[in-house]
Amino acid sequence: MYKAFKYCYFLLIFAFLPGFSQSPAVRVEVSPEEIQPDGKLEIHVFVIGKQYAVGDFPDINGFKKESRSIKHSKVSVNRKREDQHQITQVYTPEVSGKITIPSFEIIVNQKPFVIEQKKINILSDEEPKNEKAIEIESADFVVELSKKEVFVGEGLMLNINFYLSDKTTSQWQFPSNIGAQVEQFAKKIKPNDCLESRLNISNLVGRKILIKGESYTVFNLFEAIYYPLNDKDVLFPTLTLTMQKQKGTSFVDMILKSKAHSVEVKKLPNHPLMEKVPVGVFKFAEQLKDEKKQFTGNSFEYRLTVEGEGNFSGVSIPKVENNKQFDFFETSTITKQNLGSSDGSKSVFYKIIPKEAGEFAMANYFSLIYFNTALAKYDTLKSKRVVLVSGKALFDNKDVKKDIFSDIENLKTDEKSYNFREIAKVFANFVVGMMILVYLYILKSKNRG
């Protein structure tokens, strides 16, 4: 009897132990499928959860492995706020044409994840590379801006570069404190009235470029995008870089200075929503399966994505109110935008329950007003999907198939409810505790005997 009791005791304990924690959700993206001249290939690893240990990224034939960066953010998954970690490895193409990247493994949290092979098209630069309209010395330190004027809220890219002519016979090198110098640049150059999105550059890798027919190697020391919050002009002061140049058998310090810059910031035109609308160049992308075969009472999934150029932390798709035709339930939102990049996207996932039969244009429910910086005017994005719903009206259809979201708006939250699973858990813990006491009592009695 004692042995049987002992086995039951351990069986109950293991039965009520909490489940082992699952590994964080992992997603890998390789993009883009078509690379423009001077473009980059990026491998993104998205990890949802607290742990995000990512191993080495592969070496890919035809590409040079460059910087690796990490971005932390909060995403909504099944109505819960979760940590998302985005680890990005950047590659520079060294060839042109169509390339097949073979399948490879990435170790995430000590587990291998296999990424299937992917075909990439690298476009060739038929014409000579665009020559920059700047005056460059054989060795030069330059602050470069993407625009000379922007609207309030429009992204302005800034690069701090070191140029070295291939004709230079002297050897140059970065001093040991180059990292500290870059951090000083970041503090000094950041405008007070701007939001900053800074690219994390971990390795200084040179790339070839043509300037006025002469070949240079350029090193990107710092890169960020600034979004002005008001119409004050943005000023960027002179910076000083210390480099080392070979003289005889040793290296001596050389001081290089950049030029100061200013950028004009223009007000947005008057509009009732001018303080709230996102600013940039955007478009809608939609996913809706079987839009012509929907039925009253049966929910369907719809994903609406805003993609383009702009500050996606300021992009908010207006909430859709329930109406006579549909009930709308927003299940999750995912924002994708690399640090230091103006490109991005924001996706909202919906469960939609039709309540009436008919043909419905989703443009009546999903739209976004924004300021289009390319056109310098306000614009409106609208859904292009049309949903065809069949069946009886929901309130007349007694045979309607119940959905997990059905009647959720009528759920009473002011009445006392009971969580029977929690009650059972407490009771089980009580039983286990009593069994432990009985076991100790039997053991003590046996020792006395």
pLDDT above 60: residue 89: yes
pLDDT band at 340 (very low <50, low <70, confident <90, very high): confident
Instruction: Name the residue with tokens 């995000």.
Output: 52
Mean pLDDT, residues 307-326 = 91
Rg of the chain's alpha carbons, rounded to an integer?
Answer: 30
Instruction: Give yes or no for a contact between 167 and 143, defined as CB atoms under 8 angstroms apart.
Output: no
Instruction: Give 438's pLDDT tier (boundaries 50, 70, 90).
Output: confident
- What per-residue confidence (pLDDT) applies to 118? 85
Most confident of 69-83, 224-238, 336-350: 224-238
Mean of the per-residue pLDDT values for the chain? 84
Give the per-residue pLDDT at 448. 66
Please give the Cα distance from 25 to 266 (Å, whole number). Answer: 43
Q: What is the pLDDT of residues 116-155, one digit of tens each?
A: 888 888 887 654 444 555 667 889 999 999 999 999 999 9
Q: Over the stretch 111-124, which tens digit does the pLDDT of each residue have? A: 888 888 888 888 87
SS3 annotation, the chain: CHHHHHHHHHHHHHHCCCCCCCCCEEEEEEECCEECCCCCEEEEEEEECCCCCECCCCCCCCEEEEEEEEEEEEEEECCEEEEEEEEEEEEEECCCEEEEECCEEEEECCEEEEECCEEEEECCCCCCCCCCCCCCCCEEEEEEECCCEEECCCCEEEEEEEEEECCCCCCEECCCCHHHHHHHHHHHHCCCCEEEEECCCCCCCEEEEEECCEEEEEEEEEEEEEEECCCCCEEECCCEEEEEEEECCEEEEEEEECCCEEEEEECCCCCCCCCCCCEEEEEEEEEECCCCCEECCCCEEEEEEEEEEECHHHCCCCCCCCCCCEEEEEEEEEEECCCCCCEEEEEEEEEEEECCCEEEEHHHCCEEEEEECCCCEEEEEECCCEEEEECCCCCCCCCCCCCCCCCHHHCCCCCCCCCHHHHHHHHHHHHHHHHHHHHHHHHHHHHHC
Q: Give residue 407's pLDDT.
A: 52
Tell me the per-residue pLDDT of 374-383, one tens digit each, with 9 for 90 and over: 999 999 999 9
Residue 201 to residue 67: CA distance in whole angstroms: 6
pLDDT at 347 over 70: yes
Q: pLDDT: is 126 or 295 the higher one?
A: 295
Higher pLDDT, 401 or 248: 248
What pLDDT is recorded for position 437? 83
Closest residue by Cα to residue 181 from 235, 137, 239, 140: 239
Tokens standing for residue 87 = 């680890």
Q: What's the rounded mean pLDDT across residues 54-67? A: 90
One-letter amino acid of 9: Y
Residue 379 burial by Cβ neighbours in a 10 Å radius (0-12, 13-18, 19+)? middle
Cα separation, 389 vs 400, whole angstroms: 14
Identify the weakest region by mean pLDDT among 270-274, 329-333, 407-411.
407-411
Under the banding of pLDDT at 50, 70 and 90, the label for residue 81 is confident
Residue 214 pLDDT grade (very low, low, confident, very high; cuts 50, 70, 90): confident
> Helix, strand, or coil here: 2?
helix
Q: What is the mean pLDDT of residues 281-307?
A: 91
Instruction: State yes or no: pLDDT of 21 exceeds 80.
Output: no
Q: Give the pLDDT confidence score for residue 395 in this predicted structure.
A: 67
**How much is the average pLDDT of 89-109?**
88
User: What is the model's pLDDT at position 132?
Assistant: 54
Pick the closest to residue 140 from 168, 112, 179, 175 (CA basis): 168
Q: Which amino acid is at 39?
A: G
Predicted confidence at residue 24, as pLDDT, reads 54
Q: Specify the pTM.
A: 0.60
Residue 147: its pLDDT value, please? Answer: 92
As a whole number, mean pLDDT of residues 18-29 equals 59
As a whole number, mean pLDDT of residues 92-113 equals 88
The H or E element spanning position 259 is none
